[in-house]
Amino acid sequence: MSTSTLDGVGHGAPGTSYLNAKSGLMSWLFTIDHKRIGVMYLVTVLSFFLVGGLLALGIRTELLTPAGDVFSAAVYNKLFTLHGAIMVFLVLVPAIPATLGNFLLPLQLGTIDVAFPKLNLLSFHIYLLGAFFLVFTLVTGGVDTGWTFYTPYSSTSADGNVVAALTGAFILGFSSILTGLNFIVTVHKMRAPGVTWLRMPLFVWAIYATSVIQVLATPVIAITLFLLIFEKIVGIGIFDPALGGDPVLFQHFFWFYSHPVVYVMVLPAFGVMSETITVHSRKHIFGYTAIAASSIAIAAVGFIIWGHHMFVSGQSELSGTVFSLLTFAVAIPTAIKLCSWIATLYRGSIQWNSPMLYSLGFLWIFAIGGLTGLFLATLSTDVHFHDTYFVVAHFHYVMMGGVLFALIAGMHHWWPKITGRMFNDKIGRINWVLAFVGYNLTFFPQFVAGSQGMPRRYHQYLPEFQMWNQLSTLGSYLFGLSLFIILAYLLHSIFKGVKAPSNPWGAASLEWQTKSPPVEHNFEADVICTYGPYDYDAHRAAQS
Amino acid sequence: MSTAAGADHGHAHPWYQAHHFKNMEQQNASNKFGMWLFLVQELLFFAGLFMAYASMRYFYPGTWLEAAEQLDKVMGAINTVVLLTSSLTMALGVRAAQLGQNKQVAAWMVATIAGAYGFLIIKYFEYSHKIHVGLLPGKWFGFDELKTTATNAPQIFFSVYFMMTGVHGLHVVIGIGVIFWILFRALRDEFGPENYAAVENVGLYWHLVDLIWIFLFPLLYLVR
Ligand code: HEM
Ligand SMILES: [Cu+2]
């Protein structure tokens, strides 16, 4: 990537970076630097991941034995509701776009910042406000509707602070919309000279497709939650059947957002994969245009398949059939991606480091998650699987396994760029075994229990499911431990890690062509891009 | 600012250009594009309300006919005219901003704000009448005449009515706020041929608010 200095003015003392350019808490909380905003998101998202994770460990501990002995049924309901709501709205939706996305988008486009830096900060503040409401819900008695807030349960009989939880989710939606809007404009208008559409890294394409979903789908959940708040307070009678409303209408509204939003979570994870797999196998990505186009295809098709959550909710047989067919269709672009990554690995010089291992872990986990999605998309089998642990296992494989493994892969991959330090890769590789085994041990048995008919969302279960549940709980403890180990060695590296060179992996995309960590305004000179992000030959030629 | 021609030193670009943009063309294009995306987002937000309207009307067609009779068609029509006129004054304000005639911009903004207040005042009279007789959403509904004669769920019509017009009214209120902001900036003589994106964007927003009302009025008041 060639950069040229236009006027050669200096940039402060050597060694200054976005991290130490300004100091003090306020310089962080009110910064408009996309890199700092990304880091703040990362810290908050991970903190809420810890909260949601502890709730999950509570759930798993209850399920060690068939009897409901650790928590009462009422408390258990609140545990899984808050776990789900926190994980979806506070963790998974912003997990990659708002953290790595914020940090990387302008860097990968060779520009100074996103199109609207102040709006970016506003999104973060709105996120904090929404988070406040969810925390408020948590500490003032919780809520027990399930993260799906189905009516009429949520509007009439629910226990706890439903309105506060709804308000929190409503507010968080706007944070997501504004981030998406900002990123779309950034991709269209802020690219450096030479960064053509087909020279954008695939991570950018993924974030772009994600942003489109955020802008188009999130307003619908916002108005849905808004109406539900009034259903709860005034009984407007739109969703509550006792008042003349239609609970299935609520489900349509809810899933019109909540299906697309699973792609808000996972498309950025795909984007991370498209970077880590090519860089750490030292090989040009296979099928660049196919991967880019399939991101857009997934975003588009993702909007018309929400009905697969409602096969047994009383929608018509015809809509069931159509939604089933369309759901199968979304597997095609998804499979195109998986195949392209595997083809990229083929004959690459694979580096067995942490980012690569987590990427391979992602491929395994996501393949299982995606394929079991097809079982659920089949009408006849879904009648059996619906509302069992099979569904729970499916969506944890794709959402939690997929997104989390990608996020961890991405955090390792870009850690040197973000912090300017190298982590201890040896511990990373060893710990990967624990994470991978722990993860699969947690969720694979749930497929078995679910297929044998164990329903979700109960704090007791029949004794015949005990073995599967105990394996799962054991796995969750191991997985939790592995995550703490990651946290420990990453934090350790900030203080004791070796200083990172600007391009430790020999990558060709733009973010690696500036210092680690980058200077406040990203690049020391105006960027002019002359070759694609995976053109390692051109990159090497340009270096020498 | 990287090392781009003197951005740090503040001479190379006009005061109204933000540092992270290379030139005004990029800034204006970004702002306008961002606004259009925001409007798309608004449309989808309202789409939920329209969808709720459609389903409920489909369930209770009779109720819709009877309950809609209780709305004041004359006031609704006047409000439509008021809002359309304010869209015109807004458009004229944008034109004035492009020409750098800040005094005219200010005048047109005052006219637009007057229209917005006019709309809200009329709405206030409509609402207070509804509240007075008990034509209210959900459990607050207390209009006996409809309770007995109408089909199933007259309170649902008024739920939909208040939700739709309430959310729309909120947009009018926010509109007044941002139009005031334009007014103050015009009084400070800020706009000119290169720097009018803010006026244009507020204009777009205001037209959207207007457009939504154009759909609400027939759907709610003129049901047949
Ligand atoms: C090949 C792709 C996929 C297919 C065919 C698929 C199919 C399905 C189907 C049919 C259901 C409904 C099952 C039921 O409730 O009975 C379902 C549930 C779910 N899926 Fe997927 N899925 C796919 C990918 C994903 C991805 C990528 C994610 C998230 C990143 C995801 C997240 C979820 C969630 C959250 C639920 C259930 C939510 C709940 O009921 O609480 N799925 N999936
Ligand atoms: Cu779905």
Residues in chain B closer than 8 A to A223 (CB atoms):
45-49, 167
State the Cα angle at A487 between A484 and A491, rounded to 5°: 145
Per residue in A469-482, pLDDT (tens digit) is: 999 999 999 999 99
Instruction: Evaluate if residue B6 carries a pLDDT over 70.
Output: no
Interval between CA A307 and ligand 2 midpoint (Å): 8
pLDDT band at B5 (very low <50, low <70, confident <90, very high): very low
Helix (H) or strand (E) holding A354: helix A354-377
Question: Are A181 and B38 a contacting pair at CB < 8 A?
Answer: yes
Tokens of A476: 């969750």
Q: How long is chain B?
A: 224
Pair of tokens at residue B213: 């009302």
CA A395 to ligand 1 center in whole angstroms: 5
- Cα three-residue angle B28-B29-B31, rounded to 5 degrees: 65
What mean pLDDT comes out for the span B200-221? Answer: 97
Q: Are A424 and A495 in contact (CB under 8 A)?
A: no
Q: Is residue A265 in contact with ligand 1, taking CB distance under 6 Å?
A: yes
Which residue has tokens 């210092």? Answer: A515
Is A368 at the interface with chain B, CB within 8 A? no
> A484 burial class (0-12, 13-18, 19+ CB within 10 angstroms)?
exposed
Output the CA torsion A400→A406→A408→A412 (10° steps). Answer: 180
Pocket test for ligand 1, best of A394, A397, A404 (most atoms within 8 A of CB): A394
Per DSSP, what are the bridge partners of residue A143?
A: A160
Q: Which residues of chain A are within 8 Å of residue B6 when distances are taken between CB atoms?
A: 7, 9
Q: Is the CB of A266 under 6 A from ligand 1?
A: yes
Q: Which two tokens stand for residue A108?
A: 């990968």
Does A249 sit within 8 Å of B156, measured CB to CB? no
Give the residue ranges of chain A where pLDDT is below 50. Answer: 1-12
How does pLDDT run across A295-345, given as a tens digit for each residue? 999 999 999 999 999 999 988 999 999 999 999 999 999 999 999 999 999
A253-292 burial, b at 16+ Cβ within 10 Å, e below that, comes to bbbbbbbbbbbbbbbbbbbbbbbbbbbbbebbbbbbebbb
* Contact criterion met (CB below 8 Å) for A134 and A51: no
Where in chain A are the domains? 28-543
Nearest-CB residue to A526 (from B3, B26, B167): B3
pLDDT at residue B10 tops 50: no
What is the pLDDT confidence band of residue B74, given thresholds at 50, 70 and 90?
Answer: very high
The label of the residue with tokens 């310089």 reads A27
Return the DSSP state at A517: S
pLDDT at B19: 87
Q: Which residue has the tokens 């020498």?
A: A544
Predicted-complex ipTM score? 0.93
pTM, to two decimals:
0.94
In the structure, ligand 2 is a single-atom ion and the residues with CB under 5 Å from it are A 259
Mutation test residue for ligand 1: of A254, A395, A454, the one with most atoms within 8 Å of CB: A395
Average pLDDT over residues B90-98: 97
The closest ligand to the CA of A374 turns out to be: 1
Distance from CA of B151 to the nearest CA of A (A): 11
Please identify, by atom number, the ligand 1 atom nearest to the C-alpha of residue A265.
30
Question: Which domains does chain B show, CATH number per domain?
Answer: 31-221 (1.20.120.80)
Q: For chain B, how many helices (H) and strands (E)?
A: 7, 0
CA distances from A472 to A191, A263, A384, A436 (A): 46, 26, 22, 13
* pLDDT above 70: residue B122: yes
Find, in chain A, the residue whose alpha carbon is nearest to that of B8: A9
C-beta separation of A285 from A340 below 8 A = yes
CA distance to A120, A312, A320, A331, A445, per residue, from A382 (Å): 41, 8, 11, 17, 18
Neighbour-count burial for B119-157, b at 16+ CB within 10 Å, e otherwise: bbebbeebbeebeeebbbbbebbebeebeeebeebbbbb
> How close is the nearest chain A Cα to the Cα of B45, in Å?
5
Question: What are the tokens at B110?
Answer: 């005052």
List the single best residue of A156, A185, A216 to mutate versus B (max B Cβ within 10 A): A185
- What does the pLDDT read at residue B149? 53
Q: Residue B40 and residue A216: Cβ atoms within 8 Å?
A: yes
Q: How far is C-alpha A217 from the geometric centre of its chain's CA atoms?
A: 16
Ligand 1 pocket member A334 (CB < 6 A): yes
Choose one of A298, A391, A399, A456 to mutate for the ligand 1 pocket test, by most ligand atoms within 8 angstroms of C-beta: A391
How many CB pairs lie under 8 A apart between chains A and B?
Answer: 138
For ligand 1, atom 32, the nearest C-alpha belongs to A395
Please name which of A138, A50, A36 lies closest in space to residue A91, comparing C-alpha atoms.
A50
The dihedral through the CA atoms of A415, A416, A420, A425 has a sign that is positive
CA distance A102 to A96: 9
Mean residue pLDDT of chain B comes to 91
Lowest-pLDDT range of A3-17, A439-453, B38-52, B133-147? A3-17
Phi/psi of residue A389, each to 5°?
Answer: -65, -15
Choose between B223 and A299: higher pLDDT: A299
Q: What is the pLDDT of residue A248?
A: 95
Q: Is A277 in the pocket of ligand 1 (CB under 6 A)?
A: no
What would the DSSP string read from start to end of A269-334?
HHHHHHHHHHHTTTSPPTTHHHHHHHHHHHHHHGGG-GGGG-TTTT--HHHHHHHHHHHHHHHHHH
Is residue B57 helix, strand or coil? helix
Closest-approaching ligand to the CA atom of A263: 1
Q: Is A71 within 8 Å of chain B by CB? A: no
Q: Where are the beta strands (DSSP E) in A228-282?
A: none
Class of domain A28-543: mainly alpha
Q: For an interface test with B, which of A6, A9, A151, A252 has the most B Cβ atoms less than 10 Å from its Cβ?
A: A9
Residue A358's CB is within 10 A of a number of other CB atoms, namely: 28
